[in-house]
Amino acid sequence: MSSGAAPAGPLARRLVDEPLVLAYFIAALIYFAIALLAGLLMALQLVQANPLAGLELFSPGRWRMVHTNGAAYGFIANAFLGALHWAVPRLMLRPVLSRNLSWFIFVAWQGVVVATVIGILAGQAQGVEWGETPTWIDPLALAGLALVAINFIPPIVSKAGALYVSAWYFLAAFVWTFLTYAMGNFLPQYFIPGTGGGAIAGLFIHDLVGLFVTPLGWGLMYYFVPIILRRPMWSHALSLVGFWGLAFFYPLTGIHHFLYTPIPMFLQYGAVVSTIAVEFVVLTVIINFLGTVWDRPWIAWQSLPLRWFFTGIINYGVTCAQCALQTTLTFQQLIHFSDWVVGHAHLVMLGVFGFWLLGIMTYLIPRLVRRDWYSRQLNEWHYGLSVAGMTLMFFDLLFAGIAQGISWGSLQIWEDSLAISLPFWWVRVLAGLLIIAGQICFFVNVYLTLRSRTAQTEELVAQA
Amino acid sequence: MFESRTGILLIAGLGFFALAFLSNGLVPILMYRDMPEQTAEEVVNRNLLIQFDDLRSRYPEGFAKLVRRLGHDPEAAPTPETDRKLAAETLRYARALYIGEGCWHCHSQFVRPVSNESRRWGPVAKSREYQNELQRPVLFGTRRVGPDLSREGGRRSNDWHAVHFFKPTSLVEESVMPEYPWFFDGDPNHPNERGIALITYMQWLGSWLPHYFNNYVDPRLAEAQP
């Protein structure tokens, strides 16, 4: 990244389809809002305060799946695609394969996500965790992922010379995402029953995080952090270790989701060892990013996008340290099946990747609409409330999980585990409301910023 | 190699993924190749048929609806063969409902060999129990808000399940399970085709175990005894 600051010159504008980036971000935020409301509904159900109880279309069981799938395929996937449409052409100095294909993918992907939500609400969910997309949509989603790869890979492979770190992650991620989706949605559904299918479902759950979300996330961090800092990454060698370590160890970890199932123990041991290895790899990546700002750490706080990024990076360190512990068979006895894991999942999906993508939006939206944020104060509230809510939820669910595990292991009657969970679940509702309040600040700010653009554009049109 | 396009696409993208799939995915498939997948018909057993018969006599209207939903004539006189077939079709239908309602996100279906689980739930899970079409995709689950269900069958009566599905808190005050009035025609005495199917599925879980019907001791009762 010798160029440092990305010029918003004519070349960059020709390369990037800016309305498409904005369209992806807006779609992502709409699904994010739906996923947040779905989460709130489930949280209220857990404290016996569901205002929509007894209504089939608002069944918390179905909305739980809308919550996870909406977050993964609606919010995170859309936001990633938007960010990639900005980062890849600028990094490679080449446009994507076809602008028409880009828009076709955009429309098709929204169709896939909307059909997924409607299918799940109609009770057609598939029995694959994080892949509840009804079976008839799976081939369409897979074709969409293939088109994404076809659209983004040409600008990366056609450029002569060395490839920057981000491009390694992107290139691998396009291959992995397609393979992961194909493996997880078809093999356990049509071909492999029982325990063998469970092993593959475990690979799917983890590869979705490890081989789709993680490489795209880190690839974008390797792009945006040096750009905003106007300085290169601290160590290229650590970048290499991080990428190849992730590529080797991450795919081997999936079975850790099903420890103590009938899956053969030697495979479970292998998954545990690989998972601990991943944590060491991740540590090298985190050190690399912290090293980049080590001499001037306050910069990471002063710039709001960087603050989001480094908050996410620290959260990533926390989740990985947590993961190295919870994956061990000793910890599993206590915390498996409990809210501990739910807290872990929220910290990864929202506290890391969600925060990074919100930081990217905070950085890019003013550049896309060529106007400053309507209110910087609302963005500060967005950050503050999100971090407060996320931190509260994480620690709340962590302790809830320990309490639940102790209750179960000591053979208390089942209802005891519900009684001790209730205060934790109320705190979780509060934490969720804080997160939602933060996002409302952001949504309002985005709306007002967009609206002011329209007014400005109309003025310009009137002047012309 | 480490920074080249072919290295990344072929070694990291395809190679490492394939390595993981072969070692973690294909190995268990090969290990279970002598344990063929059973059909739903093959896993219907006597314990389940007794419950199925009880559901028919207890809820005749709902049962007739279920038979019609599965494309058969509710007026036809049942024989052991038609009952077995009907029960298998009911299990398939119920499994789709169970997944569609997201039941398995709060109820696991496997008993671990640790944390006193075999004392609470029953025998530890074995691979053979999962080699059937009703476990494709397998419903191990990853969370227990409510109890594990893999040994649920026979623990509670059919009418208990009906009332519980209708309004869980009427039986378990602390329960956070949602209500499912759409499994019923108005009141808990009239489960519809969905209600009957799901109760059948509940009674199937664990019905292959030898000690069905007495595999559960309520800890509250156990404590009350000297």
- Per-residue pLDDT at A4: 41
CA-based nearest distance A86→chain B, Å: 21
For residue B119, is pLDDT > 60?
yes
Q: What per-residue confidence (pLDDT) applies to B212?
A: 80
Residue whose C-alpha is closest to residue A400's, from A348, A460, A340? A340
In a domain, B226, yes or no: no
From B16, B114, B180, residue closest to A251, measured CB to CB: B16
Contacts of B135 in chain A (CB under 8 A): 193-194, 197
The answer, for B180 touching chain A at a CB cutoff of 8 Å, is yes
**Does the pLDDT of residue B45 top 70, yes or no?**
yes
Contacts of B143 in chain A (CB under 8 A): 337-338, 341-342
- Shortest Cα distance, chain B CAs vs residue A406, angstroms: 9
pLDDT, one tens digit for every residue, chain A (464 residues) = 334 444 456 777 789 999 999 999 999 999 999 999 999 999 999 999 999 999 999 999 999 999 999 999 999 999 999 999 999 999 999 999 999 999 999 999 999 999 999 999 999 999 999 999 999 999 999 999 999 999 999 999 998 888 999 999 999 999 999 999 999 999 999 999 999 999 999 999 999 999 999 999 999 999 999 999 999 999 999 999 999 999 999 999 999 999 999 999 999 999 999 999 999 999 999 999 999 999 999 999 999 999 999 999 999 999 999 999 999 999 999 999 999 999 999 999 999 999 999 999 999 999 999 999 999 999 999 999 999 999 999 999 999 999 999 999 999 999 999 999 999 999 999 999 999 999 999 999 999 999 986 666 666 656 65
CB A79 within 8 A of CB A28: yes
Contacts of B27 in chain A (CB under 8 A): 264, 267
Classify A227 as helix, strand or coil: helix
Is B146 part of a structural domain of the chain?
yes
SS3 state at A123: coil
Closest CA to A278 of A305, A298, A251, A249: A249
Q: Who's near A463: CB < 8 A, 6+ residues apart?
A: none
Q: How far is C-alpha A426 from the chain's CA centre?
A: 25
Inter-CA distances, A89 with A98, A108, A462, B7, Å: 12, 21, 33, 22
Is B126 touching A (CB cutoff 8 A)?
yes
Give the DSSP H/E element, type plus range, for residue A317: helix A304-326
- What is the band of B210 on the pLDDT scale with cuts at 50, 70, 90? confident
Q: What's the sign of the alpha-carbon dihedral B213, B215, B217, B219? A: negative
- Does some domain include residue B222? no
- B224 in a domain, yes or no? no
Name the residue among A332, A315, A331 with its Cα closest to residue A394.
Answer: A315
Chain B neighbours among A 112-151 (CB < 8 Å)? 123-129
Tokens linked to B106:
């709060």
Q: Are residues B14 and B65 located together in one domain of the fold?
A: no
Residue in B101, B135, B219 nearest the CB of A411: B219
Residue B223 lies in a domain: no
Q: What is the pLDDT of residue A3?
A: 41
| Residues B105 and B23 reside in one and the same domain | no
For B31, which residue in chain A has the nearest alpha carbon? Answer: A196
Residues in A closer than 8 angstroms to B110, CB to CB, are 261-262
3-state DSSP assignment of residue A7: coil
Is the C-alpha dihedral spanning B114, B116, B117, B119 positive or negative? positive
CATH number for the domain harbouring residue B66? 1.10.760.10
Residues B99 and B17 in one domain: no
Select from A3, A6, A62 the least CA-distant residue to A34: A62
Closest approach of chain B CAs to the CA of A411, in angstroms? 7
Do B69 and B155 belong to one domain? yes
Contact (CB<8Å) B178/A45: yes
CA B204 to CA B59: how far, in whole Å? Answer: 18
Q: Are residues B4 and B105 in the same domain?
A: no
C-alpha dihedral sign at B24, B29, B31, B32: positive
Minimum distance, in Å, between the CA of residue A68 and any CA atom of chain B: 11
The pLDDT value recorded for residue B224 is 47
Domain count, chain B: 2
pLDDT tops 50 at residue B67: yes
For A182-213, letters b (16+ CB in 10 Å) and e give bbbbbbbbeebbbbbbbbbbbbbbbbbbbbbb
Query: How many Å apart are CA A276 and CA A272, to the nearest integer?
Result: 6
- pLDDT recorded at residue A160: 83
Q: Is B58 found in the same domain as B107? A: yes
Residue type, A343: G
**8 A C-beta contact, residue A275 and residue A328:** no
Residue B225 in domain: no
Does B180 reside within a domain?
yes
- Residue B180 and residue A432: Cα distance in Å, rounded? 25
Q: Are residues B80 and B6 in the same domain?
A: no
Quick one: B96 and B2 in the same domain? Answer: no
pLDDT reading at B221 higher than 70? no
ipTM of the complex as predicted: 0.93
What percent of chain B clears pLDDT 70, i.e. is strictly above it? 94
Residues with Cβ within 8 Å of residue A418, at least 6 apart in sequence? B174, B175, B176
The dihedral through the CA atoms of A178, A181, A182, A184 has a sign that is positive
- Three-state DSSP at B132 gives strand
Q: Given this model, what pLDDT does residue A8 score? A: 52
For residue B221, is it within any domain? Answer: no
Residue B169 DSSP symbol = G
pLDDT given at position A101 = 98
Q: Do B182 and A56 touch (CB under 8 A)?
A: yes
Q: Measure the CA–CA gap between B19 and A249, rounded to whole angstroms.
A: 10
> A177 to chain B: nearest residue by CA?
B13
**Do residues B27 and B93 both lie within one domain?**
no
Half-sphere CA count of A148, side-chain side, radius 13 A: 29
Chain A CB contacts of B111 under 8 Å are: none
Pair (B3, B71) in one structural domain: no
B52 and B1 assigned to the same domain: no
**Could you tell me the pTM of the whole model?**
0.94
Q: What is the pLDDT of residue A461?
A: 57
pLDDT of B225 > 60? The answer is: no
- The pLDDT score that the predictor gives to residue A157 is 93
Structural domain boundaries, residue B4: 1-31
* Probe site for chain B from A261, A281, A341 (most B CB atoms < 10 A): A261
The burial of B80, by beta-carbon neighbours within 10 Å (0-12 exposed, 13-18 middle, 19 or more buried), is given as exposed
- DSSP E strands, A137-277: none
CB contact under 8 Å between B28 and A408, yes or no, is no
- Whether residues B137 and B176 fall in one domain: yes
